[in-house]
């Protein structure tokens, strides 16, 4: 026997129960609400599990063939970033190795390299980096700079020692300013630690939006999006369905995100300095905001496929505007304003502050205020759009000569 979608619109707990049941009986929604929220971040993170790129193959063209040039080559090979895989005789051979994809950088040690250094003159070492791959370029450039600086330091200190200076005096003369660097919040400087925490929040938002769109599109297709006993539906009649549906979605996601934000987070060994429960507390208004936004957008779709196409198309835009791929502060003013359409814009920095940096609720007061404003605006829009959708489907049902008295909400 087919259970009606809603027995009574006034039955608030019935609305919640029915929405949860519907979410778990629809295969597409289960795929999004449960499988996608857990599986997608896991698959996405596995690609970055190594955090940094190491042992990048490069070629060193040694035109000097001296002890200094060989020492410099060994220093390059000793860095964790580079591996001196080839030593071609000329630039033409090295260029062919690069075009074949066997190397990602070329370093040329010029003639008279040792002579120039011992004569206290500057010796130039050309470095060709693959700038088409940002992280490869960064690693090649960093390793070559580090090896060059280390070699310069050794030459300078040896020169001072030969002039009769003590070791301490030589070090002080060479290193007048001793800078100490501390990598905060991302000790490994890994790309996974940088990008994935923000991706987790984006996945939660987008999967919830798409799932809601599919549910509403399905009901419009089946003609189940109808009021039970009256043709005219007021705004007040839409309050209970909108709030009840939102509570159902938030309840489901508070359970599924435990796996994503706790088990997956620990499995990937992300930096964790704050309390998860503070994040969980912040997650509640965020999920309500996304739910109201999903209900609002669902009024635009008459079929399931429409919501899927639109919201999947929206995902890369969200990724860019949220500030994950590019700093929010560097966006043009207009795009920065538009970014606050999405709840992820305040939620991503709030998540990073609470979980990675270890801040308290006071550190996310601005983000919390923005989310509360978004939640209020989207709730009003959701009530209006839901009521309009009910009226639209009701009129369509009358046109098709369906039975209004037996219709279901």
Rg over CA atoms, the chain = 30
Rounded distance between C-alpha atoms, residue 123 and residue 315, angstroms: 50
Q: What class has domain 56-174?
A: alpha beta
d(CA 51, CA 217): 40
pLDDT of res. 327: 79
Helix (H) or strand (E) holding 105: strand 105-109
Q: How far is CA 76 from the centre of its chain?
A: 33
pTM score: 0.75
CA-based angle 404:407:408, to the nearest 5?
150
Q: 279: how many CB neighbours lie within 10 A of its CB?
A: 22
Distance, CA of 323 to CA of 329 (rounded, Å): 8
Question: Looking at beta carbons, which pairs linking 315-323 to residues 24 or more positions away fall under 8 Å?
Answer: 315/202, 315/206, 318/202, 318/205, 318/206, 318/342, 318/344, 319/199, 319/202, 321/345, 322/198, 322/201, 322/202, 322/348, 323/198, 323/348, 323/349
First-to-last CA distance in the chain? 17
Ordered per-residue pLDDT tens for the chain, 409 residues: 343 444 454 467 778 888 888 888 888 888 888 888 878 777 777 767 666 778 889 999 988 888 888 888 898 888 888 889 889 888 888 889 888 888 888 998 888 888 877 777 777 888 888 777 777 888 888 888 888 877 777 766 666 666 666 666 666 665 555 666 676 777 666 677 777 788 888 889 988 998 888 888 777 777 665 444 345 556 667 788 889 899 999 999 998 888 878 777 777 777 777 778 888 899 999 999 999 999 998 888 777 777 778 877 888 888 888 877 777 878 888 888 888 999 999 999 898 888 888 788 888 899 999 999 999 999 999 988 888 777 666 665 555 544 444 444 4
Torsion of CA 30, 31, 33, 35, to 10 degrees: 120
Indicate the burial class of 2 (C-beta count within 10 angstroms; 0-12, 13-18, 19 or more). exposed
Q: Are 356 and 272 in contact (CB under 8 A)?
A: yes
In 3-state terms, what secondary structure has residue 265?
helix
Say how far apart CA 88 and CA 139 lie, in whole Å: 21
Per-residue pLDDT, 226: 46
pLDDT at 172: 61
Strand positions, DSSP E, 55-103: 56-62, 82-86
List the domain boundaries for the chain: 12-48+190-406, 56-174
């Amino acid at each position: 026997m087919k259970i009606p979608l809603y027995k009574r619109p006034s039955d608030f707990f019935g609305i919640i129960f029915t929405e949860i049941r519907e979410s778990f009986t629809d295969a597409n929604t289960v795929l999004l609400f449960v499988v996608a929220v857990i599986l997608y971040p896991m698959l996405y993170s596995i690609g970055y599990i190594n955090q940094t790129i190491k042992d990048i193959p490069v070629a060193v063209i040694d035109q000097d063939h001296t002890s200094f040039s060989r020492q410099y080559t060994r220093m390059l090979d000793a860095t964790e970033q580079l591996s001196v895989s080839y030593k071609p005789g000329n630039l033409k051979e090295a260029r062919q190795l690069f075009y074949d994809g066997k190397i990602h950088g070329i370093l040329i040690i010029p003639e008279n390299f040792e002579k120039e250094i011992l004569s206290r003159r500057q010796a130039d070492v050309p470095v060709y980096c693959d700038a088409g791959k940002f992280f490869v370029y960064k690693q090649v450039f960093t390793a070559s700079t580090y090896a060059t600086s280390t070699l310069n330091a050794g030459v300078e200190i040896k020169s001072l020692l030969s002039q009769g200076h003590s070791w301490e005096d030589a070090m002080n003369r060479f290193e007048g300013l001793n800078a100490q660097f501390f990598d905060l919040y991302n000790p490994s400087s890994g790309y996974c630690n940088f990008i994935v925490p923000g991706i987790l929040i984006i996945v939660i938002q987008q999967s919830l939006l798409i799932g809601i769109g599919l549910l509403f599109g399905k009901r419009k297709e089946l003609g189940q999006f109808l009021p039970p006993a009256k043709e005219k539906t007021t705004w007040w009649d839409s309050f209970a369905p909108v709030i009840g549906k939102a509570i159902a979605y938030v309840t489901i996601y508070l359970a599924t995100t435990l796996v994503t934000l706790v088990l997956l987070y620990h499995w990937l060994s992300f930096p964790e300095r704050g309390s998860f429960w503070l994040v969980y507390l912040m997650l509640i208004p965020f999920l309500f905001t996304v739910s109201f936004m999903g209900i609002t957008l669902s009024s635009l779709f008459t079929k399931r496929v429409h919501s899927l196409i639109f919201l999947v198309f929206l995902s890369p835009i969200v990724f860019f505007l949220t500030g994950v791929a590019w700093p929010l502060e560097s966006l043009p003013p207009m795009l920065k304003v538009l970014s606050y359409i999405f709840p992820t814009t305040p939620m991503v920095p709030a998540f990073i502050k609470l979980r990675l940096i270890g801040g308290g609720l006071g550190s996310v007061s601005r983000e919390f205020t923005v989310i509360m404003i978004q939640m209020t605006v989207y709730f009003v829009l959701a009530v209006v759009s839901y009521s309009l959708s009910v009226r639209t489907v009701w009129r369509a049902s009358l046109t098709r000569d369906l039975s209004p008295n037996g219709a279901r909400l």
